[in-house]
Amino acid sequence: MDRMLKAKPIALSPFFEQPWLAQDATKQLGFQKVWTTPDPQVLAVGKAKRKLYIAPVTLNYLRPINQPLSSGEVAWGGVQRQQAEIAARLREEFVAAFRGSPSPLYRLVNGPARIR
């Protein structure tokens, strides 16, 4: 019965860049892959940073609706996907999670840092 409840692995989404650098994380974490750069200098610079900008969420990579009834409901206008509202809500949830952290490592900022 437990194996029926477990999610089956699927192919990586197209937004996942450089999949050959991804490491298997299924045994330690709740997802399939984790990606970090192999460059130790980039990792060191990243660890020293303490400001975090949470960019707007994009839902451009949502999988298309492929169930006949569901896709028909959307096409007929009976159901709206509300992608913009969902994206805004996701960003708000990410911000709230970081702000509510009991021991935050980062301070949230209102915009991305300038690249020098």
What is the per-residue pLDDT across 1-39, written as a single tens digit (0 to 9) for each?
Answer: 455 556 666 777 777 777 788 888 777 776 677 777 888
Q: What single-letter amino acid sits at 116?
A: R
Give CA–CA dist 91/85, Å, rounded: 10
Residue 84: inside a domain: yes
Residue 15: inside a domain: no
Residue 2: inside a domain: no
Residue 115: inside a domain: no
Range of the domain at 85: 39-110
Predicted pLDDT at 63: 62
> pLDDT tens-digit profile of 45-100?
888 989 999 988 887 766 666 665 555 656 666 556 677 888 899 899 999 999 99
In contact, 4 and 16? CB cutoff 8 Å: no
Taking the complete model, does pTM exceed 0.75, yes or no?
no
Cα–Cα nearest to 84, from 56, 110, 103: 56
Residue 53: inside a domain: yes
Residue 92: inside a domain: yes
Give the total number of structural domains in the chain: 1
Give CA–CA dist 30/35, Å, rounded: 14
Residue 48: inside a domain: yes
Residue 61: inside a domain: yes
